[in-house]
Amino acid sequence: MSNLDILNSKNQSFFLPIGGIGEIGGNNYLYSFKGEQIIVDAGISFADDSLPGVDITIPDPYIFLNPSIKPKAMILTHAHEDHVGGLEYYFDKIDFPIYCNQFTYAYIKHKFKRIPDFEKKFHIIKSYQEISFKNFSFQLIPTTHSIPDPTGIFFKTNDGNIYHTGDWKIDKNPVTGDPFDYDNFKILKEENIDLLIGDSTNAGVKEISRSESELDPSFDRLFEDLNGRIIVTCFSSNIARLKTVISNALKHKKKIFVVGRSIKRAITTAIEEKLIDNFEILNEKLFADYNRDNVVLICTGSQGEKNSALSKIANNTHNHIKLSPKDNIIFSSKEIPGNEKAISYLKNSFSYLGLNIISDEDDFVHVSGHPGIQEIKEFYQYVKPISLIPMHGEYLHLKKHLEIAHDLNIEKSLLLLSGDLCELDLKDKNHKLIDQFVIKKLPVIQNSIIEDMNFLSERGKILNNGIVSLNIILNKKLDILKSELHTKGFPFDFDKEFIQEQIKESLLNKILFMKDEMNERSLHDQLEDIAKKTFSKNFSLKPELLIHLSIV
Ligand SMILES: [Zn+2]
């Protein structure tokens, strides 16, 4: 990673998206201001089908956790998992302070409770509190989104200023936190914004995002009208949505069940922070005991995550939660690109159970937490950025964002993707792409980052070709005493004796040729090669081979 040394240059400033540009999620950005680096956000993203059996990934944090650079700090913009969810997996390796506001800290602190003195790494700061380093300073700017206290970051340097929007929308009547207020952004208007790095998620959406509070009458009506149990699935970190759902459930005197660790924790934190009224979460073991018309169950898993409780409920394999035909499920979330197939599978499973499925195509049950075209234009006309780099979004969204910039005559804009190293030119705004890194998405399995990705190619091979185990015992004269062949997940039923005979014959031929150069290791390798060729010749398949050869 030595080519990262350029980030230590005392004359240049850089922006390196480690994750979060050209994709939805996995937000993790590096800024370097004349040799001083700072990391923004530490998110996770959903894994796609290319990673069998993996639900989440994180952009490779060893880009900044390596000896060639020494970040001064990390800043967390808000508490959504795609901005903070990766931190717990490399928290122990971080030796710099982490800055965030009070709510973000309150929301994520439970993740680190087992680590002694974890709180010392966190520096809780207030909006507009200026944190200064040698070459730059930053302040958190309050905005609105779908979680309490989201922030953008205002960077000041000697060469110019940057506004990093974080996730945002214009919500003049949010259900948690303060309304969107242009006064909050006066500071950006008064100082030049030489570069704005902005949220592109909905840059192609013509409709304005609508306020979270507009969902309230919808849930009120649905909870009034629907017969049968009501399951609501949304993201666990969408505190605003949880509040809307819970307050309406309480209003209609529903019994509330919450399934899933992350969502229970989110609700507990929201209650502690006095964002949601305290209420009784019922034990899921009692789910079947309550009158169906009186039950609301809140659950994550809306993206079709295979290991989620919702998937188990849909497949009727959950230990306690069994649904009945004519129960209802509300998908109060949008489909993250890439998850369409998994979500469709989930919906089909619920349909098979006879459930009434309500998603945002059927009823008004979701508002986005991101700004559409009109909001972006309105905001940019207010803060007047001179140049723009789109972030948060797939390529299409980034392009749409550039179109908006073009409409607003923000001409000096640059399209980057994760891994692109951009040299910032805050004076003349001629930012340029100077290098490209391939940044891996590391799978997270059972709370650990898996750095060696070989297991994934093995999994892929097993998925397509199965496993063959071959056990051969020879005596010292190299006569074959015993051979065994077993398969798992191999698609064909075949005559094992016949295949073993082919392998044994080839092995004995090899032994005749190899004579003196033979030892257990070389014979093992020969046997592996022979088995590979035998399966390829007979079945055109390359199963994962487990070879055991011993000489007794
Ligand atoms: Zn967010």
CATH of the domain at 504: 3.10.20.580
Q: What are the pLDDT digits (tens) for 72-123?
A: 999 999 999 999 999 999 999 999 999 999 999 999 998 899 899 999 999 9
How far does the centroid of ligand 1 lie from the alpha carbon of residue 366, in Å? 15
Which pLDDT score, from 0 to 100, does residue 321 have?
95
Which pLDDT score, from 0 to 100, does residue 399 have?
97
Arithmetic mean of pLDDT over the chain: 92
Q: Are residues 34 and 148 in the same domain?
A: yes
Angle between helices 239-251 and 261-272 (to 10 degrees): 80
Tokens of 496: 């094992």
Average pLDDT over residues 170-184: 93
Split at pLDDT 50, 70, 90, the class of 516 is low
How far does the centroid of ligand 1 lie from the alpha carbon of residue 292, in Å? 34
User: Of 398, 427, 451, which residue constitutes the final position of a domain?
Assistant: 451
- CA 506, 507, 510, 511: dihedral to nearest 10 degrees? -140
Total domains present in the chain:
3
Which pLDDT score, from 0 to 100, does residue 522 have?
86
State how far the alpha carbon of 314 is from the alpha carbons of 222, 293, 391, in Å. 21, 19, 35
> Which CATH number do you get for residue 323?
3.40.50.10710
State yes or no: pLDDT of 412 exceeds 90. yes
Residue 15 in 3-state DSSP? strand
Residue 146 covered by a domain: yes
ipTM: 1.00
Contact 51, 443 (CB under 8 A): yes
Sequence-distant (≥ 6) Cβ neighbours of residue 493 within 8 angstroms: none
Residue for token pair 């989440």: 56
* Strand runs labelled E in 323-456: 328-331, 356-358, 387-391, 412-413, 420-424, 432-436, 441-445, 448-449
How far does the centroid of ligand 1 lie from the alpha carbon of residue 45, in Å? 12
Contact 425, 431 (CB under 8 A): yes
How far does the centroid of ligand 1 lie from the alpha carbon of residue 21, in Å? 14
- Phi, psi angle pair for 207, to nearest 5°: -75, 150
Residue 326 covered by a domain: yes
Q: Are residues 219 and 250 in the same domain?
A: yes
State yes or no: pLDDT of 1 exceeds 70. no
Residue 515 in 3-state DSSP? helix
Sequence-distant (≥ 6) Cβ neighbours of residue 320 within 8 angstroms: 284, 285, 287, 288
Q: Are residues 414 and 516 in the same domain?
A: no
Average pLDDT over residues 446-469: 80
How far does the centroid of ligand 1 lie from the alpha carbon of residue 144, in Å? 10
Pick from 217, 218, 302, 197: which is nearest to 260 by CA?
Answer: 302
Q: Are residues 10 and 38 in the same domain?
A: yes
Residue for token pair 């093995």: 458
How far does the centroid of ligand 1 lie from the alpha carbon of residue 507, in Å? 60
Residue 363 covered by a domain: no
User: Of 451, 482, 508, which residue constitutes the final position of a domain?
Assistant: 451
How far does the centroid of ligand 1 lie from the alpha carbon of residue 266, in Å? 14
Residue for token pair 């082919």: 502
Please work out, in degrees rounded to the nearest 5, the angle formed at the alpha carbon of residue 44 by the alpha carbons of 39 and 47: 140
Please work out, in degrees rounded to the nearest 5, the angle formed at the alpha carbon of residue 182 by the alpha carbons of 383 and 80: 90
d(CA 158, CA 160): 6
How far does the centroid of ligand 1 lie from the alpha carbon of residue 170, in Å? 13
Average pLDDT over residues 459-483: 86
Residue 47 covered by a domain: yes
How far does the centroid of ligand 1 lie from the alpha carbon of residue 400, in Å? 20
Q: Are residues 515 and 473 in the same domain?
A: yes
How far does the centroid of ligand 1 lie from the alpha carbon of residue 392, in Å? 10
d(CA 251, CA 270): 18
Residue 120 covered by a domain: yes
Q: Are residues 169 and 278 in the same domain?
A: no
How far does the centroid of ligand 1 lie from the alpha carbon of residue 166, in Å? 8
Q: Are residues 348 and 475 in the same domain?
A: no
> Which CATH number do you get for residue 426?
3.60.15.10
Which pLDDT score, from 0 to 100, does residue 28 have?
98
Which pLDDT score, from 0 to 100, does residue 338 have?
81
User: Of 416, 451, 486, which residue constitutes the final position of a domain?
Assistant: 451
Sequence-distant (≥ 6) Cβ neighbours of residue 332 within 8 angstroms: 215, 232, 233, 234, 238, 241, 245, 302, 360, 365, 366
Which pLDDT score, from 0 to 100, does residue 453 have?
73
Residue 538 covered by a domain: yes
Residue for token pair 């949601």: 276
Residue 444 covered by a domain: yes
Contact 456, 73 (CB under 8 A): no
Instruction: Indicate the DSSP class of residue 53.
Output: T
Q: Are residues 463 and 478 in the same domain?
A: yes
Amino acid identity at 479: D
Residue 20 covered by a domain: yes
Could you tell me the residue range of the domain that residue 36 belongs to?
2-207+368-451
Q: Are residues 376 and 350 in the same domain?
A: no
Instruction: Indicate the DSSP class of residue 292.
Output: G
How far does the centroid of ligand 1 lie from the alpha carbon of residue 415, in Å? 21
How far does the centroid of ligand 1 lie from the alpha carbon of residue 329, in Å? 24
Angle between helices 395-407 and 373-383 (to 10 degrees): 50
State yes or no: pLDDT of 495 exceeds 80. yes
State yes or no: pLDDT of 15 exceeds 90. yes
Q: How many CA atoms lie within 13 A of 290 on its CB side?
A: 24
How far does the centroid of ligand 1 lie from the alpha carbon of residue 430, in Å? 30
Percent of the chain with pLDDT over 70: 99
Sequence-distant (≥ 6) Cβ neighbours of residue 364 within 8 angstroms: 214, 215, 218
Q: Are residues 351 and 398 in the same domain?
A: no
Q: Are residues 181 and 58 in the same domain?
A: yes
